[in-house]
Chain A
């Protein structure tokens, strides 16, 4: 990526960062090759990256353009979804039952929220910034609170998207299942919000890139795009992120919370695969399928490259290192590497399963190093137990 700091170093640090941010945003939009995908992502990109609609300090209203699909004959149309619905009903749990009486000290070296090596401090030291033991713990606390804040914002998006998808989906068994997912997402909002408010006492603003993805799928009127965005991409991202944190945290309440959430997420991705596999492979024209294939690739890249915790950078390092340097630190850190591995090892097989990894797009995945995840199991073959035991 272009290091803008060579041109802007005579400007104050905050302006330098801003110019880097603009360059990054333009780079994202310019990299989109399909004009239809650009049309779908572009306005969201402007609202998120340029206008920071999620950070204006006021609630955001996102207009919806989908159609609520009614069916007065209540067909039993999707046995696999009916089965998911049954499993979802018995899989409900109560957020109050988590061990909330656990006292959480975010700086406790015995039970760290994230391991010290999550952010690779040697890269920070290479830039001449020395952090003592206390500062390292504080930075780990910030990173963890940042991640959980993004989970919370993502779950809010998932809650509303799940509701929209329940309205728009054309399978009746899918609607019944969708109701349970709305409940699941509501519970996830509840527990992440409660953990942040009562245990970490900190809430970061929504990351602009996450805002772009949520905005894009909330405002897209096509039900299958919502499905693709929510059930495959965002849920895949969530599963990767939750799993990474679950594996790495030593804080018992957070571990238990994530374990319960991951069990729900496994169902959600499975539903997305069920619904889209048939639709994409049988009911779309080649052109429509290609557009979705490209959209998924762009969003995957957005997810791979852009979750650089800039909010933590602003809190800690603005003026001490450039935004580009921070980006490097984050991308090379062990925790983020782990996160990308888990996320794509779940996401790529799902894209293959729903028919969005044709030989046409494979070279582009190959180019960015994502093809090595091609052979994994898709969500319809994965149980929550496998998901969790892979992590233990």
Chain B
């Protein structure tokens, strides 16, 4: 209110009138004098300003409410030690991790860890890297291996490829993800795996585990790469193909094939995927009721594979996809500049929390000690999905929610931010 008044006075000075004729310093003094005289006159006539003003929380205070000491309040990573570093290709490295306190790590083939990569600059990046190793029969392992392919200009992937040595500690969240195959010794299924580049990582774990644990299952892997030297796990896959020749078919597709390459050449586009599927159908058959499709790779390849599969009449429920979009390449919606109250309903009770600008629904909820489920914290696993009951949120895209979930009003708490009051429910 005071500011308004001062502004109006300043405008009045600018906009002409007798005060225009006087130097500004004199005007300021005159105004002060007028105020003084008015104050004394008001005193004498018993007119006084209210002794107090009603106050509301200011932006300054609201911003200060929620950023807890760390931006990831309530999200505590697990520390794992790097026990082995294996260079798979010039551009891919496998890191084997164990728990320093000897606890075994439970995971399902196909899951990934969210690795918190601390750069030399102090920045912490979150990236998803799939597990390529196989769990023991009880579903856990003393050592798990993740495989990281260098992304051109990728800060995290290059750091992990170049700077990590045995004995280092990695902070991870998870394992997360539902792009999984839970081993079932009685299963008599056919898994058709379509991999592009580093998309092999979860599919390698699925291949190894399925061949080892499901004697009645068949696996066909179509694996697209640029050249021969880009093939991650090349020898391991080839020895698997030899050992399980009756149940495992490995089909390489190369866009820059060496001389003498007998497989299919070109990119895994819609036509090539269709040709591969035709070839598989011709050689071993594709029983619609026993075949499941797992697709993981770069975005154009995934779109092509989906189109090809749907065009063949494959039931969408039999198509499983894993998308890894580097956060850097996501659309980053403009961060809300204001804080907004969020009503969060979880386990039958409702609580309103205030998210600071930039804080995700998940961070705001966890900071208020709400039992919100989460796993990967980067839009990749869907564990934190909540239903938006009212209001609007902005979400980073793409994320792992499918169209159906989006249409039902689900959003991912870990990559969504509220610009205005909203209400969400944890399913």
Contacts and interface: CB of A to CB of B under 8 A. Distances in A.
Contact of A51 (B39, B44, B65): B39
B48 A14 contact: yes
Nearest to A197: B55
A57 B2 contact: yes
Nearest to A100: B65
A58 B35 contact: yes
Contacts of A53: 36
A50 B44 CA distance: 11
A261 B398 CA distance: 48
Contacts of A146: 52
A12 interface: yes
A59 B6 contact: yes
A197 B49 CA distance: 20
Contacts of A205: 49, 51-52
A205 B51 CA distance: 6
Contacts of A383: none
B279 interface: no
A197 B58 contact: yes
B46 A18 contact: yes
B38 to A, nearest CB: 8
Interface string A95-112: 111001100000000000
The number of chain A residues touching the other chain, given as a range, is 35 or more
B40 A194 contact: no
A248 B274 CA distance: 80
Interface residues of B, number: 30
A55 B36 contact: no
B14 interface: no
A197 B6 contact: no
Interface in B27-51: 35-36, 39-40, 43-49, 51
B48 to A, nearest CB: 7
B64 interface: yes
B54 interface: yes
B32 to A, nearest CB: 9
A197 B57 contact: yes
B1 interface: yes
Contacts of B48: 14, 55, 314
Contacts of A96: 64, 67
B349 interface: no
A315 B67 CA distance: 38
B55 A201 contact: yes
B61 A194 contact: yes
Contacts of A196: 55
Contacts of A202: 52-55
Contacts of B47: 14
Nearest to B68: A96
A194 B64 CA distance: 10
B329 interface: no
A198 B57 contact: yes
A95 B6 CA distance: 31
A322 B345 CA distance: 54
Contact of A15 (B46, B56, B61): B46
A79 B125 CA distance: 46
A12 B45 CA distance: 9
A312 interface: yes
B55 A312 contact: no
Contacts of B60: 194
Contacts of A55: 39, 48-49
Given A56-B39, A100-B65, A194-B64, A12 B46 contact: yes
Contact of B51 (A15, A200, A312): A312
Given A51-B39, A52-B43, A198-B61, A58 B5 contact: yes
B40 A50 contact: yes
A315 B52 contact: yes
Pick the 3 closest A-B CB pairs, nearest first: A14-B46, A311-B51, A204-B52
Given A59-B2, A205-B49, A315-B52, 8 more contacts: A14-B46, A15-B45, A52-B39, A52-B43, A57-B5, A197-B61, A200-B55, A203-B55
Interface of A: 12-15, 17-18, 21, 50-53, 55-59, 95-97, 100-101, 145-146, 149, 193-194, 196-198, 200-205, 311-312, 314-315
20 contacts: A50-B40, A51-B36, A52-B43, A55-B49, A56-B35, A56-B39, A57-B5, A58-B2, A58-B5, A95-B64, A194-B64, A196-B55, A197-B55, A197-B57, A197-B61, A200-B55, A201-B55, A203-B55, A204-B51, A314-B51
